[in-house]
Amino acid sequence: MKQKTRSRYLLSWLKACCPCAATVRPAALIFSALFLSCCGETEKQPRIDKYKIELSEAVKESTVIDKIPAIGSGLALKEGNSGSSAVFYSVADRRGRIAVTESSLPFFAEITLKSRNAFLTGLQAIYGLKNSDLEGIARDQDGKLWFCDEARQALYSVDPESGRMLKKLRAGKELPKYLKRIFENKGFEGVAVSPSNRLVTIMQGPLKVHGTGYAPFVRLITYDLKENSYKSYLYPINTDDYRYPSAYRISAIEAVSDSLFIALERGEAPSGYNNKIFTVDISETEPLPDKSKLKQLPEYQYFHNKDTFDEKYKDSFVKKRELIDLRNYGWKYEKSEGLAVLPDHKRIAVINDYEAHSPECLKNNGCAPELWIVELPKPLITKRRFLFWILLAGFFIAAALAGLYLKKGVRGAAKTGEV
């Protein structure tokens, strides 16, 4: 119904703008269809493919692992552009013993989708990290992996082939010291790399600056690897979506462009549980001033100067919009913690943080790592506006030529005395 109404409106507009449009109605109809297909809204629902991850024979033979380890705390695309044929990296937030010659170490896995099946096809230990709590994982433009450590508030670059540490970014050293002010297990939770090779990281919860006060926003940080500089933004939380103020958790972030990201939120809802993906736009957001003293932080200002807080920081909040509620499509896990975008910008991969002995798994008589490929009705970024202007220009050129043709025909008829 909407499509027909918009089509009629468009045809009326064309006739008003170009009198010859009525004569070239087929062209108008073709243009209308092209316009609506490129720029019109759609009411289609996402298409979702669900995969249970199994151990490959190669992993069984080359490791001491005989069942799926505790992967799923983060997800990154290694290669592939198809929802049914791709390779991902996933990180474990617990240490594990994956080889006879090694002690228990943090590790990441390789997951391969092929022919409607998903297999864990590789495991790699990470060296030089003791007592870490790795959460997010991302792959940069040079093929190196980045992990975030919520226990130490740090980001690590790791060689994916050897598992050796390449670089560290730590709160209080390469990153501002105030980022150490965290609630327990609520530090860096997600990491991504933008097309221009900038790091993007987000915290699971707010900074701790006012006792148990839990601010309704978290820090989103971008880091320029070339300039070794960072910018900080505020990511808002709609507390009405959650059962109590500290119920929310930001689980993951992924870069779509240099200014558009998607983020994964979860937490206890007023009834049930939330697992939602949001788009996050920083294109019109002002970075926060680089102030590190406690009383200068927006988290402190929120609790002590609420009258002026909104006006002072309104330009530093990112713009977010709900993209998909996973629960509406059958998602049953609380710990949705891995997120990746495929190159077509239309498919999103989501994975649960799988821990065989977690209360959630025990409550459900066991669970398994599950990977979803969510195909959106339209891409997260498109060239619609560009296509629209090309089509519009083409139409008016065609209409003008048709007008000249009609005018020439009228003149010719007048000369022969037919008019």
Q: What is the CATH number of the domain that holds 182?
A: 2.115.10
According to the model, what pLDDT value does residue 97 have? 83
**Do 151 and 217 fall within a single domain?**
yes
User: What size, in residues, is the chain?
Assistant: 419
Q: Is residue 7 part of a domain?
A: no
**Do 33 and 51 fall within a single domain?**
no
Q: Is residue 301 part of a domain?
A: yes
According to the model, what pLDDT value does residue 322 have? 97
Helix axes 384-415, 25-39, angle to 10 degrees: 180
Q: Is residue 1 part of a domain?
A: no
**Do 38 and 53 fall within a single domain?**
no
**Do 201 and 158 fall within a single domain?**
yes
Residue 407's contacts (CB-CB under 8 Å, 6 or more residues apart) are none
Identify the domain containing residue 403 by its residue range.
Answer: 18-42+384-412
**Do 399 and 347 fall within a single domain?**
no
CA atoms within 13 A on the CB side of 343: 9
| Block residue for tokens 């200002």 | 301
According to the model, what pLDDT value does residue 83 have? 67
Residue 257's contacts (CB-CB under 8 Å, 6 or more residues apart) are 194, 195, 381
Q: What is the DSSP letter of 285?
A: P
Inter-residue contact 86 to 79 (CB < 8 Å): yes
According to the model, what pLDDT value does residue 229 have? 95
Q: Is residue 2 part of a domain?
A: no
CA 14 to the chain's CA centroid: 39
**The token pair that represents 415 in the structure block:** 């000369």
Closest CA to 94 of 358, 371, 351: 358
Single-letter amino acid code for the residue at 87: V
From first to last of its 419 residues, the chain has per-residue pLDDT tens of 444 444 455 445 545 555 544 444 555 445 454 554 455 444 689 999 999 999 999 899 888 888 888 899 999 999 987 667 899 999 988 888 888 778 889 999 999 998 889 999 999 999 988 778 899 999 999 999 999 999 899 999 999 999 999 999 999 999 999 999 999 989 999 999 999 999 999 999 999 999 999 999 999 999 999 999 999 999 999 999 999 999 999 999 999 999 999 999 999 999 999 999 999 999 999 999 998 899 999 999 999 999 999 999 999 999 999 999 999 999 999 999 999 999 999 999 999 987 656 666 666 555 678 999 999 999 998 755 545 556 666 666 776 676 666 666 655 555 555 54
**Do 405 and 301 fall within a single domain?**
no
**Do 80 and 107 fall within a single domain?**
yes
The widest CA-to-CA distance across the chain, in whole angstroms, is 101
Phi, psi at 391, each rounded to 5°: -65, -40
**Do 365 and 394 fall within a single domain?**
no
According to the model, what pLDDT value does residue 7 have? 46
How confident is the model over 200-246, as pLDDT tens digits? 999 999 999 999 999 999 999 999 999 999 999 999 999 999 999 99
**Do 61 and 32 fall within a single domain?**
no
According to the model, what pLDDT value does residue 11 have? 47
The order of strands in the sheet holding 145-149 is 134-139, 145-149, 154-158, 165-170
Q: Is residue 111 part of a domain?
A: yes
> What span, in angstroms and rounded, lies between the C-alpha atoms of 162 and 125?
8
How confident is the model over 60-77, as pLDDT tens digits? 988 888 888 889 999 999
Q: Is residue 4 part of a domain?
A: no
**Do 136 and 88 fall within a single domain?**
yes
**Do 233 and 287 fall within a single domain?**
yes
According to the model, what pLDDT value does residue 259 have? 97
According to the model, what pLDDT value does residue 394 have? 66
**Do 297 and 388 fall within a single domain?**
no
Q: Is residue 417 part of a domain?
A: no
> What span, in angstroms and rounded, lies between the C-alpha atoms of 242 and 33?
42
Q: Is residue 6 part of a domain?
A: no
According to the model, what pLDDT value does residue 65 have? 85
Domain count along the chain? 2
